[in-house]
Each structure stands twice: as structure tokens, then as C-alpha cells.
Chains A and B, each alone.
Chain A
Amino acid sequence: MRNVWSIARREFRSYFVSPIAYVVLALFLLLAGYFFFSILSFFNLQSMFMLRNPQMMQRLNVNDLVLRPLYVNLSVILLFLVPLLTMKLFADEQRLKTFELLLTSPVRLWEIVGGKYLAALLFWFLMLACTLLYPAALFHYGNPEAGPVVSTYVGFALLGAAYLSVGLLFSSTTENQIIAGVVSFAVLLLFWVLDWASQVAGPPVSTVLQQLSLTEHYRDFTKGVVDTQHLVFFFSFIFFGLFLTHRVLDSRRWR
């Protein structure tokens, strides 16, 4: 465990040395802030107009109409940003040939995988922590329900973690950071498309696709529901991503 932690720490620190992490974080906050602002100002406008129409006003709920769309939008932004975060994790090492060195050390392969993933995960949690400012503003200016906020964050954290495992996997397959980033993005996009496809396809296929779709499993969290089957799905997904990463790296030994 100690090895995992030390690898994670080193990797996490290196995030702050490279410009990419700052760019990603700043971009994320910029886009998220902008979305938050525009959704909220529209809602604010509606709140004011609807004062004349009590029946319509019943429908206005800040959880439903502000937080939920915000976190759905953010999940799409993540598609683009996560590959940028993960592309360097293994590709860099392989390019610099320090990976072989690492492999010969007494550190075990799964500890390496775990450590790198943990570093990315911690950075993701940092990004998440920054976004807490949005619900904070809502609590200050309004009266949202706390439960759905908690569940949304649980879901969003898991979603990001799942995206990260995909990014990690493809970073391990190549030396070239750009390829790692692009392929990760393509695969994440594929999963996003799966969700759309599951709506369009016919019965047996659509059920399978729905089960595989990350967005589908995320949806309930944004509503305020924490369902253990979704938790199982996300954990399985992350585990499988890390497992495959381990397989890919292990294969270098005999390739």
C-alpha cells in the first residue's frame, strides 16, 4: 500500500508542474461557471416572472431546473477534459523509457497502476471540490434540497472516475500522448453514443446497450436516487478498466 501511495504522490505533484493540469482546471471552471451562470440566470428570471402565475410556479424547482441540467452538461464537458488529464500518465513514462526502470524495481505492477490512477482520481476530486461552489451559491440564494445534491455528487464523482479509468487504459497502450488522448476521447464518445443508440434501437439490443451506457447509470444520481445497482456498475467499470490496464502493461513483458 505504501508503494501505491508514494507513486500516487509523485504523480499528483507532477500534475502541478505541467501546464496541462492548470489549463484543464481553468477551462473546466470557466465552462462550468458559464453554464451555471446562464442556467441560473434563466431560472432566476423565471422565478421572478412566475410570481404572477402561482400554478406555473409550482413547477419551478431549483434542484430540477438548475442543478440537474448543470451536471448533465458537465458530464459532457468531462468527455473532452479527462483524456487531457490521463494521457500523460503512462505515455510519458514509456517515452522517457523510465517505465522499464520502474518495472525492474520491487514495486509490483498493480501498485503502479493503482498509484497512477489514484493520482488522477485525487486531481479529479480537487476539480469536484471546486465545483462545490455552485450548489453553495444556490443554498445562499435559495433553498434547494440537500439530498439530491449529495446523490448528484456521488454519481458525478463515480462518472469521472469511470472516465479516468478509460483514459488510463489507453494511456498505457501507447508512447504517444496525443494518440492516448485522442483514442480515450473517441472511446468515451462511443459510450456516450451508446446511450443515444439505446433509445433508437430495438428491444434486445437496446436493453443491452442501456446496461452498458454510463449516462444511463448516471441519470438516477442526478434525480436524487442512489441505487446500489448503479454503484455496482460504476465500480465494475472502473475495476475492469484498471484490470485491462494491468493486462496491457503486463503484456509488455512478453511482447
Chain B
Amino acid sequence: MSPGTNGPKDRNLLTGALGPTGALLLAVALFWWLIQPPKPWILGGIAGAGLLLLALWAWLDRAHLREILGGRTAKFGTNSVVLTLVVLGLLGVANYGGQKVGHRFDLTATKLYSLSPETLSVLKHLQGDLHATAFFKDENQERERASDLLAEYAARSAHFQFRKAEDLVDPERKPELARKFGVREDGTIIVDSGTQQQRVLKATEEELTNAVVKASRTEKKTVCFLEGHGEGGPEDSGNSGYEKAAKALESQGYTVRKLLLVQEAAVPPECKVVVAAGPQHALLPKEIEVLRSFAARGGRALVELDPPSQAGQAETGLEGLVREWGVEVGRNIVVDELSRLFGNSPVIPMATSYGNHDITKDLKKGEAVMATIFPLARTVAPVATLPGGLQVEKLVNTSAQSFAVPSDRIVGGKVRPDPKHDQAGPLSLGVAVAAAPATAPAAAPARGAPEPHEPRAVVYGNAAFASNRYFDLMGNGDLFLNSVNWLAQERDLISIRPKERGMSLVHMDPAQMKGLLSLYVVILPGLVMLSGAWMWWKRRRL
């Protein structure tokens, strides 16, 4: 009897094992290559060994193989394989269809995993493509939740792209990507429309949906930088220039241009926000008048005024204008001893506390506060009696160890606080002016309707904080961007109440715990074993 025609039992066990082992090696090589390819010679070695074993098996078992491949078995075998592949294909299609057409039922009590109707509506009307990337370090506890939230968004709109495998990134593992998007903080989400990007620092539905709204806006708003009086210029890359700020604005979808008011009879209509980045010389009365009427018809202004650096220095004229808006800009320099602790000169005060305002709300994350610094600043505070219809809120405050030294007392560049007479901290370095609630429009107008003239302005007692030299420091850049965003804000930004998973506790005393332990860990399994033993004993008797 020739060896090849024997049944399976007669085949040498070793020969029989060659085939599957060879196949296994090949499979391992394939798997490895797909996941994280090792060095080519390792991969090649394993694959090669697998192929070798398969070949060896085929040769040694050739008679048997011939029999299998030739006869009836082959025909039925191929049929089977084809049928299997067809079924697999159909199932694949069914699953693919299931993904597109499926329905998601959120069974949590607070609908934690469903999106609010506002978000759903925004996603439904989304037209352009948006791509989200989430930068969360591996140990960040918010990682899963943020990823789940983004996945929900992606599930609801074909235009919102987020895939956990590619777009949930650890910034430490992919630093180039983090740098490309200018990600500085752990827990940042970038929503990219291709032409502009929105940065989300807090992974809540409200922030994310608003970012979607902002990122998908097609009309560009223009921010106009006042020039001609020594202000920080948007194209100036020097230390006191505003090039970085301008670039940051452009990446958020704004158009930036310069504005020479002297040549204009009025602020051009496309300027949504006018920025006066620290004028050093006085403005002409004509220019002040143009700005006044700009604000009166609803124009938004960001005014940054540096303190006079010596006694007797003239005002720019904007001080009087903002006073009409209810803002008192002090003629002083703020000195903060706290800054010494951080290695800074005391004339570079740090903001240690913020008001409760949209502009500053994401500078506070729970207990942590993001600092901002203002090199050479003056106080900016609400006037004692506010003009009707306006409210002025403090944005940024220094510590209690600060003093406001009147400029008139500065002699020879030396600033010395007089604790007995000088105004003491905490001192306000910036305010936001808005319509008082009573006069604010009652309801948001329909999308697309012209906006009512709601006055808004932001005034800071320092321009250098957002200049090129200081823009990237701590929270400075964010403060500037938030201010412009708030000023440029449209009505279709929404507020969504966050859904918190309800607190749900257990109350058990030690006795109950012990009872539980004995019941679940001892009694239950014990009962099972006992019934097993009883069954076995019963059968033994048979």
C-alpha cells in the first residue's frame, strides 16, 4: 500500500502538523504587518518560514493532497468556500447598511448619550465638511467621554467627520500634529472646516456645537486694526507688533485689515470689529467722532490703552470716548508685588481672578485658573454712575497686593507705590460693555434676519498683552481671541445646558457588606457545587 492513499490516521503526525503550523506562521506575519510592522528581516523570516513549512507539507503529503484536490472532495470543497464567501459578503453588506440606517436608543435617565435638539438641528443643517481632531493624553480622564461625544456628532451628520481610531490623538505621541494645529493644552478639540479652525477647550456639547456653528460659517467677518497713531500693526512682526494676533484671527475665519481713519468719513461697513491696539499718539477729534458714531450704530470696538509712561503725557482722546460708554480708564500704572514671586517685575501685573463673563469663562477650568499678564498696565473700571441702558462688567482683576500709582508721580522712570494714598487692589484691568438686560432684545431673531444694534465694547488698560512678544504666553492669546469673538458674536450661537450624569450612591454598612460577601461569593457558588455533587452522587447510585 502506498503511503499516500492511507486514511488520516496513518499520516505521520509530524507531517500533518507542518501544514497548519506553516499557515499559522503566515497568519502571524500578516497580522503583525497589518498592526505594527517589525523590522523587515523579522517579518520576512517568519513569513518565509511559514511558506517553507507549507511547501514541505505539500511535498511530503503530495499524494494525499493530489487526492483531495482532484476528486469529489475538491468540488464540494470549492462549492463550500464559494458559498461561505458569498454569505460573508452579504453579511458585510448588511452590517454596512446597518451602520448607515441604524437607530440609536439612549436608555440613560438623563439622555447622556444623546444630543440635544439644538445640536441635532445644527448638524442637520450642516453643509460644508468639518473634521474634528481631539487631543487628549492617554491618562486624561475625559478622553472617553469626549471621544463618545464626538462620535455621536459624527453619527448624526455625514459632514462631521470624526473617527476614534485616527482622530483621538495623544499629543505626546503625535507632537507634529499638535504643533500643526497649535494645540497647547491637553484636552483640546480642533474643528477644521478646511478654511478655518475652531478650538474647543472644554469638551461640552455647548462648546462643540458653537464651534461647529462658527466653523461652518461661510461669510467672513472683518476685524479692522486702527493705524496711524503708533498702534500694534497686524503685519508688524516686531515685539510690539500684532502679527501673531492677526494670524490667530485669520485661522479662526476672520479677515484682518488695517484702518486709517484719517482718510475715512466713517468706519467702512465691512468692519465688524475695530481694534485700537494701544495708540501712542492722540487721535484727531474727527477720528474720535467717527468712532463714536460707529459704536452708536452697533459697531463693536476693542480698545487697548497703554498707561502714560511719564508725568504730563497727553491723552489719546479715546479715554473720553470710553468714559461715555461707562468706562473709567485710570491715569496710573498698576504695581503688583505678587509678580515678584513669579520672577517678574512688579510693573507687570498678573491677573489672578476673572469676572463671570463669556470672554473669561474658559480661562477658569474648575479649580485651575489660567493666568494672563499685562506688562505696564493701567486700571480700567466701570464709572461710578453708569449711562442708561449699559452695563459694564469687570473681566480681569489683579491681586490684593497691587496698587495704582498715579502717572503724575512717576519721575525718572521710577514707580513707587504709596500704600497710604494710592488705590489698592484688587484692581480691574479690563471691562466689557454690553447692553443692560432690560434694554437687550427680548428674543433671538430668526437666523438670517438683520441683527439689532446691540452695543458692545471691550476695554483693556494695556496693549502689549496681545502683542507678538506676549501673545503665546499663558492665557494672553486666548483672552484676546475671546474678546474679539465676543465682540463679533452673532445671535445663532447657543447655550445648551450640560447634561450631568446624576450622582448615585450606595449606602451599606459593614454588616451588610459582609452579608453580601458571604451570599455572593460563598453561598451561591457553594449551592451550585452542592447541587452538582448531589447530582453526581445520585447518578453513582444508578
Q: What is the interface of chain A, defined by CB distance below 8 A to chain B?
A: 16-17, 19, 21-23, 25-27, 29-30, 33-34, 36-37, 40-41, 43-44, 47, 57-64, 66, 130, 133-134, 137-138, 141-145, 147-148, 150-151, 197-203, 205-207, 210-211, 223-229, 231-233, 236, 239-240, 243-244, 247, 250-251, 254-255
Q: Categorize the interface residue count of chain B.
A: 35 or more
In contact, B521 and A33 (Cβ under 8 angstroms) = yes
Which listed residue (A17, A147, A197) contacts B109, Cβ 8 A?
A147
Residues in B whose Cβ lies below 8 Å from that of A226: 104-105, 107
**Nearest CB of chain A from residue B246's CB, rounded to whole Å:** 35
The CA-CA distance from A231 to B97 in the complex, in Å, is 12
Q: Lowest 6 CB-CB distances: which A-B pairs, in order?
A: A22-B532, A147-B107, A232-B98, A33-B520, A206-B165, A142-B506
B528: interface (CB < 8 Å): yes
B179: interface (CB < 8 Å): no
In contact, B506 and A43 (Cβ under 8 angstroms) = yes
Tell me whether A225 and B113 are in contact in the complex, defined as CB-CB below 8 angstroms, given that A43-B506, A133-B524, A232-B94 are known contacts: yes
Which listed residue (A44, A133, A224, A236) contacts B107, Cβ 8 A?
A224
Tell me whether A240 and B87 are in contact in the complex, defined as CB-CB below 8 angstroms, given that A60-B504, A138-B506, A199-B165 are known contacts: yes
In contact, B503 and A200 (Cβ under 8 angstroms) = no
The CA-CA distance from A199 to B291 in the complex, in Å, is 56
Q: What is the interface of chain B, defined by CB distance below 8 A to chain A?
A: 31, 34-36, 72-73, 76-77, 80, 83-84, 87-88, 91, 94-95, 98-99, 101-109, 112-113, 148, 163-166, 500-508, 512-513, 516-517, 520-521, 524-526, 528-529, 531-533, 535-536, 539
Residues in A whose Cβ lies below 8 Å from that of B535: 16-17, 22
Residues in A whose Cβ lies below 8 Å from that of B87: 240, 243
Residues in A whose Cβ lies below 8 Å from that of B536: 19
Closest residue of A by beta carbon distance from B36: A200
A-B pairs under 8 A by CB, number: 185
In contact, A201 and B501 (Cβ under 8 angstroms) = no
In contact, B506 and A40 (Cβ under 8 angstroms) = yes
Q: Could you name 17 residue pairs across A and B whose Cβ atoms are closer than 8 Å?
A: A22-B532, A33-B521, A36-B520, A57-B505, A60-B503, A63-B501, A143-B505, A145-B108, A203-B166, A228-B101, A228-B103, A231-B98, A236-B95, A240-B91, A244-B84, A247-B80, A250-B80
In contact, B163 and A207 (Cβ under 8 angstroms) = yes
In contact, B506 and A236 (Cβ under 8 angstroms) = no
Residues in B whose Cβ lies below 8 Å from that of A200: 35-36
In contact, A206 and B166 (Cβ under 8 angstroms) = yes
In contact, A207 and B165 (Cβ under 8 angstroms) = yes
Tell me whether A22 and B506 are in contact in the complex, defined as CB-CB below 8 angstroms, given that A210-B165, A232-B98 are known contacts: no
Residues in A whose Cβ lies below 8 Å from that of B520: 29, 33-34, 36-37, 133-134, 137
A232-B95, A244-B84 are known; give 9 further A-B pairs, CB within 8 A. A36-B520, A40-B508, A43-B506, A44-B507, A64-B501, A141-B512, A151-B107, A201-B35, A225-B107
Interface of B is mostly: helix
Which listed residue (B107, B502, B505) contacts A47, Cβ 8 A?
B505
Closest residue of A by beta carbon distance from B32: A197
The CA-CA distance from A211 to B95 in the complex, in Å, is 9
Which listed residue (A40, A61, A229) contacts B95, Cβ 8 A?
A229
Residues in B whose Cβ lies below 8 Å from that of A21: 532
**Nearest CB of chain A from residue B20's CB, rounded to whole Å:** 11
**Nearest CB of chain A from residue B208's CB, rounded to whole Å:** 18
**Nearest CB of chain A from residue B27's CB, rounded to whole Å:** 10
Closest residue of A by beta carbon distance from B505: A47
Residues in B whose Cβ lies below 8 Å from that of A29: 520, 524-525, 528
Closest residue of A by beta carbon distance from B109: A145
Residues in A whose Cβ lies below 8 Å from that of B507: 44, 47, 141-142
Residues in A whose Cβ lies below 8 Å from that of B35: 197, 200-201, 205
**Nearest CB of chain B from residue A81's CB, rounded to whole Å:** 13
In contact, A201 and B34 (Cβ under 8 angstroms) = yes
Tell me whether A44 and B508 are in contact in the complex, defined as CB-CB below 8 angstroms, given that A206-B165, A211-B95 are known contacts: yes
Residues in A whose Cβ lies below 8 Å from that of B512: 141
In contact, B73 and A254 (Cβ under 8 angstroms) = yes
Residues in A whose Cβ lies below 8 Å from that of B517: 37
Residues in A whose Cβ lies below 8 Å from that of B95: 211, 229, 232-233, 236
Residues in A whose Cβ lies below 8 Å from that of B109: 145, 147
The CA-CA distance from A236 to B348 in the complex, in Å, is 66
Which listed residue (B34, B73, B88, B103) contacts A205, Cβ 8 A?
B34
